[in-house]
A and B are shown apart, each in its own frame.
Chain A
């Protein structure tokens, strides 16, 4: 099983700041099969990034994904109030597919 380790567990930032979230895989993952999801309290998750770096439909360009192999990054260039949420990375290259444990982005 591919284990995805997300860091940090919690990121406390102010609106307008840059957020950098890390996702490290226990073995190399084909970048086409790495995604990022945002979840707000009481809501279903929402797809942000697929294929490691492609934004999903309707996702603002302040969200960007990068990385390959075992190291992937989600960057939010300037945090808006609606961006404070939990973010999960997900690999769907190898079954069983796996999610990271999430990074919570809190308002500082």
Chain B
């Protein structure tokens, strides 16, 4: 069974840092592209970042470029999102999602982890 489990969320002050993790199981993690998608309280979905392992292609939303870094540890089946210089508008539930590549995207989602940026 495919499972994605996020962790690492919490309360952080503006300007602070946080690293989110996503533990993947039930599939060959290193063969899949992965994403982070977030959702501010009461708001819609916002794509954050994407990683494609075959050629190390990485994309970011303009709102997080230069502040967030996506990475993986394929030996441990882990996806990370390092978040620096956090702002109040980064407050959201962060989901990791799986991409089988080709026309299918976000076919599996984790349950999400809440990040709150506040003083």
| Contacts from A to B (Cβ < 8 Å) | 1, 32-33, 35, 37, 39, 44-47, 50-51, 54, 56-57, 86, 88, 90, 92, 95-102
Contact present for B105 and A35 (CB under 8 Å): yes
Which candidate, B12-20, B22-30, B59-67, is the interface stretch facing chain A?
A: B59-67
Residues of A within 8 A of B44 (CB): 86, 88, 99-102
User: Shortest beta-carbon distance, B108 to chain A, in Å?
Assistant: 8
Contact present for B59 and A37 (CB under 8 Å): no
Instruction: Please tell me the size bucket of the interface on B.
Output: 20 to 34
Q: Can you list, as one digit per residue, whether each of B56-77 has a CB less than 8 Å from chain A (1) or not (0)? A: 0001111000000000000000
A102–B112 Cα distance when bound, in Å, is 19
| A-B contact list, 15 entries, CB within 8 Å | A1-B62, A33-B103, A33-B105, A35-B105, A46-B109, A50-B104, A50-B105, A51-B104, A56-B107, A57-B107, A90-B105, A90-B106, A96-B59, A99-B46, A102-B45
Contact present for B45 and A92 (CB under 8 Å): no
| Contacts from B to A (Cβ < 8 Å) | 37, 44-47, 50, 59-62, 95, 102-107, 109-112
Residues of A within 8 A of B111 (CB): 44
Apart from A50-B104, A51-B103, what are 18 other A-B pairs with CB-CB below 8 Å? A33-B105, A35-B106, A44-B95, A44-B109, A45-B109, A46-B109, A47-B104, A47-B107, A50-B103, A50-B107, A51-B104, A56-B107, A90-B106, A96-B59, A96-B60, A96-B61, A99-B44, A102-B44
Residue pairs across A and B with CB atoms within 8 Å: the count is 63
User: Shortest beta-carbon distance, B5 to chain A, in Å?
Assistant: 12
Instruction: Give B99's nearest chain A residue, CB to CB.
Output: A92
A95–B60 Cα distance when bound, in Å, is 8
Contact present for A37 and B45 (CB under 8 Å): yes
Partner of B104, one of A56, A97, A99: A56
